[in-house]
Amino acid sequence: MIFIFIGLISFQNLSIIRIFFMLGGLFWALININSLPMVLDLGDLKSQGTYTGFYYFSSQFASIVAPPFAGFLADLLKTRFVIFPLGGIFFTLSLLMMLQIKMKEPKEKEN
């Protein structure tokens, strides 16, 4: 997705931009479909509800905060061209955060 945003910033040809959007949608689906299972794997059975709540809270919070933030930056910078650079920046930050996650080996079930 980071490379998709770089491509969207770099190219002006509408046909190429459409290809980047199609690839971006595909890659976003691959990320999105695996994000909740990854969050649930971080905790045990007792904490899955809490982790699911945190996951959906942060997802919805980002959906609420991002448009006004992008609009504020567009007004501040006097350009409408802020969405794709912001997307690339925040995808990079999320990648750096995800690289900090240390996965634990599952515990063996005792009889």
Assess whether pLDDT exceeds 60 at residue 85. yes
Alpha-carbon distance values, 64 to 41, 67, 92 (Å) = 27, 7, 20
Residues 6 or more apart whose Cβ sits within 8 Å of residue 83:
70
Lowest mean pLDDT among 1-10, 41-50, 78-87: 41-50
Out of 10-14, 73-77, 82-86, 106-110, which region has the weakest mean confidence (pLDDT)? 106-110
pLDDT in tens, 43-83: 788 888 999 999 999 999 999 999 999 999 999 999 888 99
List the chain domain ranges.
Answer: 2-97
Q: At what angle do helices 48-77 and 14-41 cross, to 10 degrees?
A: 150
Q: How high is the mean pLDDT of the chain?
A: 89
Average pLDDT in the 3-28 region?
Answer: 93
Contacts of 28 (CB under 8 A, 6+ apart): 1
- CA nearest to 5, candidates 94, 86, 96, 97: 86
